[in-house]
């Protein structure tokens, strides 16, 4: 893009599509940093609340959002929705100024991202795939890990903007950011499921779950799941991490497809993906991802 080397600094206008659990605090941080926010979400109440709290403006429609923006960020449930928002008739791209950068911070299929990036490049718009990790807590604090793939000049231009949301890691060509996110969530889901199975088994033997987690966290079996998810969401039976079980199952299907595309033998990804698919069917996609622990408890109870 012609202005790709120019840093995107306040008070540049950011078009932000998607004010869900993650998108809302992320957009709020950009508004607090001095950017002008033009926002859109199917949840009209979320848009109204955001504009009242953060001083943003509600876009009349997606075309108007594109026309007003110096950069557009999407934070949506999955790639098919991202494609529709950007490319459908009256979508964001129909209103964009030439060369405007698009930053997709959703979790999407790396393969689909490659196709979308090519289409947008042909139309003159660089796409940065920049999914995040860290959950709602890090979205609020600005401590997200941001995995940015795509056009290097576009990434450089967007870095000052993204720095208000977290630390940017450049992953390579288009699709590499989404590939890294799928791999990370495969690891995250695996450690959560394995720790849950261990704690459930120990509890049924007679161990205190809290004591177990304390010992695990002082020992070699510790992980983000044991150090953060168990004491914060699972042991108190809160299950309020803010990331849906259905979204984790979707990301695991992306990870499974990615692994299958590069190697024939797969020991863990198929099993973990199948486990989360089964949990989603049993508990519903809107269950919190930490409720995989509940599902494993239910499986254990069937053996009584």
The enclosing domain of 85 has a CATH number of 3.40.50.720
**Claim to verify: residue 80 and residue 129 sit in the same structural domain:** yes
For the chain, what is the mean pLDDT? 95
Helix (H) or strand (E) holding 74: strand 71-74
Query: Which of 173, 202, 232 lies at the terminal end of a domain, its last residue?
Result: 173
**149 and 171 in contact (C-beta within 8 Å)?**
yes
Residues 17-62 have pLDDT tens digits of: 999 999 999 999 999 999 999 999 999 999 999 999 999 999 999 9
Q: How high is the pLDDT of residue 3? A: 43
Instruction: Enumerate the H helices of the chain as residue ranges.
Output: 23-32, 44-54, 62-68, 79-87, 110-122, 135-141, 152-162, 176-205, 209-217, 224, 245-262, 269-283, 292-301
Residues 148-173 have pLDDT tens digits of: 999 999 999 999 999 999 999 999 99
d(CA 52, CA 181): 32
Query: Residue 219 CB: number of other CB atoms within 10 A?
Result: 9
- Out of 181, 229, 250, 256, pick the active-site residue: 181
Phi, psi of 89, rounded to the nearest 5 degrees: -55, 130
**Claim to verify: residue 136 and residue 279 sit in the same structural domain:** no
Using a CB cutoff of 8 Å and minimum separation of 24, what contacts does 209-216 make?
A: 209/235, 210/235
Residues 248-299 have pLDDT tens digits of: 999 999 999 999 989 888 889 999 999 999 999 999 999 999 999 999 999 9
How many domains would you assign to the chain?
Answer: 2
**154 and 72 in contact (C-beta within 8 Å)?**
no
Residue 218: which CATH number?
1.10.1040.10
Q: How high is the pLDDT of residue 53? A: 95
For residue 304, pLDDT over 90 is answered with no
Query: Which of 144, 173, 202 lies at the terminal end of a domain, its last residue?
Result: 173
**Claim to verify: residue 30 and residue 113 sit in the same structural domain:** yes
**Claim to verify: residue 30 and residue 162 sit in the same structural domain:** yes
**Claim to verify: residue 73 and residue 185 sit in the same structural domain:** no
Q: How high is the pLDDT of residue 263? A: 87
The residues that bridge with 39 in the sheet, in sequence order, are 16, 58
**Claim to verify: residue 70 and residue 144 sit in the same structural domain:** yes
d(CA 59, CA 66): 9
Q: Is residue 210 annotated as part of the catalytic site, yes or no?
A: no
d(CA 293, CA 21): 21
**156 and 259 in contact (C-beta within 8 Å)?**
no
Q: Which domain holds residue 249?
A: 180-301
Name the packing angle between helices 110-122 and 176-205 (round to 10°).
160
State mean pLDDT over 226-232: 97
Query: Which of 108, 139, 173 lies at the terminal end of a domain, its last residue?
Result: 173
d(CA 51, CA 57): 6
d(CA 274, CA 271): 5
């Amino acid at each position: 893009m012609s202005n790709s080397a120019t840093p995107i600094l306040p008070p540049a206008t950011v078009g932000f599509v998607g004010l869900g659990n993650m998108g809302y605090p992320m957009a709020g941080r950009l508004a607090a940093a001095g950017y002008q926010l033009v926002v859109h979400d199917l949840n009209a109440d979320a848009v109204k609340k955001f504009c009242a709290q953060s001083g943003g403006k509600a876009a009349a429609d997606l075309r108007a959002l594109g026309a007003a923006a110096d950069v557009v960020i999407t934070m949506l449930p999955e790639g098919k929705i991202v494609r529709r928002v950007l490319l459908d008739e009256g979508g964001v791209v129909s209103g964009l100024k030439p060369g405007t950068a698009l930053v997709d911070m959703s979790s999407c299929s790396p393969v689909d991202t490659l196709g979308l990036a090519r289409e947008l490049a042909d139309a003159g718009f660089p796409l940065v795939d920049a999914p995040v990790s860290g959950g709602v807590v890090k979205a609020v604090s600005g401590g997200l890990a941001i995995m940015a793939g795509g056009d290097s000049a576009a990434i450089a231009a967007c870095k000052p903007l993204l720095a208000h949301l977290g630390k940017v890691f450049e992953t390579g060509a288009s699709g590499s950011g989404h590939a890294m996110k799928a791999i990370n969530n495969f690891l995250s889901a695996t450690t959560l499921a394995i720790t849950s199975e261990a704690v459930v088994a120990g509890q049924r033997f007679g161990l205190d779950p809290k004591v177990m987690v304390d010992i695990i966290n002082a020992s070699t079996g510790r992980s983000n799941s044991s150090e953060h998810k168990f004491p914060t969401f699972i042991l108190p039976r809160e299950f309020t991490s803010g990331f849906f079980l259905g979204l984790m199952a979707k990301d695991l299907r992306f990870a499974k497809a990615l692994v299958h595309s590069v190697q024939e033998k797969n020991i863990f990804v198929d099993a973990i993906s199948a486990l989360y698919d089964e949990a989603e069917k049993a508990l519903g996609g809107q269950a919190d991802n930490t409720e995989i622990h509940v599902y494993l408890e239910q499986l254990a109870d069937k053996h009584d």
